[in-house]
Amino acid sequence: MLDTPESLFLSSEQWREADLAASCLMTVTTDTQYNFPQLTKLRPDISTTDDRHRKTFSNAPCLRELSVGLLVLITHLGIPRHQLRTLTITRPSTLIELLSILPEMKCLEELSLNRIWLEDEPGWLSDAHLNLPLISTLSLLGEDSTMFMRHLTLPTLTNLHLAQFDEDEARFYVVPCLQRSMTMVTTLSMARTNAPAAVAVLESPSVGPTLKTLTITRFHVKDYEHAVFVSHCAQPTALPVLESFTVVVPAADPLPITVRPFLDAVRTRAANLLREGLERPLQFVMELTPYEMREEEMRDLIDLQRHSKVCVRMPQGRPAWMKRWEYEDFEK
């Protein structure tokens, strides 16, 4: 982070990447323009500004990656938006802001959004539609952010990361967008959601047949949801090319932690594959600190590793009670 006087900008022609604190821009005089011929990545840590700096970054011909708190900063800092390949918005946005500025970013390949603020929508907004032809990676990580998908067509989307969404949002926003786009998702991550919402996404014809890498941040599976969740994940025909399944357990989850639904899904899938004589190796990754896991579930993991085609990995190590010879069965 550069928290420096205006004199630092005299070296702007040598910059390749820049993280800027708000105090840096406070020293820049109004309408000052600098040259950034080599700048490719910019991350201004600024929560608010006005249009005094509209020219500051306007001459940055190689800028491709931008991370900002607010969409309005793209205009207020004079960012050449038409050439951006990667855009990350770390604070809440509105649909009007997104639908007003993103049409100018036809080269965008990766987009990450936080929460979307709900507000009174003008009449035109309900019919607004945006085609982003080069987006391959979309991350919608905040509350109500999946709502944005009802306005999108993403024909080249392959990597999808979703958080804080429920079953209705999955069925009314996510799935219709994927079907409309006729895209094929190969990498999917889901966090802060629930079993019905996860199954709704996995059932999509744009996800299930082509999904290779699945990451789920652990959620609570209710008793009446368990069978449906396990059954869908375990069907070889539902996820025919799945190669890697990762379960992430947040550090804040209360102890004791159970991963039983996810473990049952993988165990049942392995048994189904074996019964049908199918050779489809699967990597099962458990991202959690070892002492948090229940002993009986850990022993089921050992059994899974020994008697199936599943390669179990625990990158954060083994629990203290596990014998070394047992742990050596796991891939690290």
What 3 state SS string does the chain have? CECCCHHHHHHHHHCCEEEEEHHHHHCCCCCCCCECCCCCEEEEECCCCCHHHCCCCCECCCCCEEEECCCHHHHHCCCCHHHCCEEEECCCEEHHHHHHHHHHCCCCCEEEECCEECCCCCHHHHHCCEECCCCCEEEECCCCHHHHHHHEECCCCCEEEEECCCHHHHHHHHHHHHHHHCCCCCEEEEECCCHHHHHHHHCCCCCCCCCCEEEEECCCCCHHHHHHHHHHHHCCCCCCCCCEEEEECCCCCCCCECCHHHHHHHHHHHHHHHHCCCCCCEEEEEECCHHHECHHHHHHHHHHHHHCCEEEECCCCCCCCCCHHHHCCCEC
Widest Cα–Cα separation across the chain: 72
Query: Average pLDDT of 51-76?
Result: 88
Gap between the Cα atoms of 133 and 275, Å rounded: 42
Query: Average pLDDT of 52-69?
Result: 89
Q: 286-321 pLDDT, tens per residue?
A: 888 766 778 888 888 888 888 888 998 888 876 655
More confident residue, 23 or 326: 23
Lowest mean pLDDT among 73-77, 135-139, 325-329: 325-329
Residue type, 51: D
Gap between the Cα atoms of 79 and 18, Å rounded: 14
More confident residue, 193 or 2: 193
Q: Give the other-Cβ count within 10 Å of 14's Cβ.
A: 10
Q: 4-30 pLDDT, tens per residue?
A: 455 777 888 899 999 987 777 766 666
Report the predicted TM-score, pTM, of the whole model to 2 decimal places. 0.91
Q: 156-172 pLDDT, tens per residue?
A: 999 999 999 999 999 99
pLDDT above 90 (res 265): yes
pLDDT above 50 (res 2): no
Plot region of 159 (φ>0 → left; ψ -120 to 50 → alpha; else → beta): beta
More confident residue, 179 or 12: 179
Quote the mean pLDDT of the chain.
Answer: 87
Lowest mean pLDDT among 99-103, 267-271, 292-296: 292-296
Gap between the Cα atoms of 225 and 261, Å rounded: 9
Gap between the Cα atoms of 73 and 300, Å rounded: 51
Residue type, 26: M
pLDDT at 257: 82
Is-contact 249 287, C-beta < 8 A? Answer: yes
Unique residue bearing structure tokens 């070889």: 236
pLDDT at 332: 47
For 7, the token pair is: 């004199």
pLDDT above 60 (res 271): yes
pLDDT at 1: 44
Gap between the Cα atoms of 105 and 89, Å rounded: 14
pLDDT at 26: 66
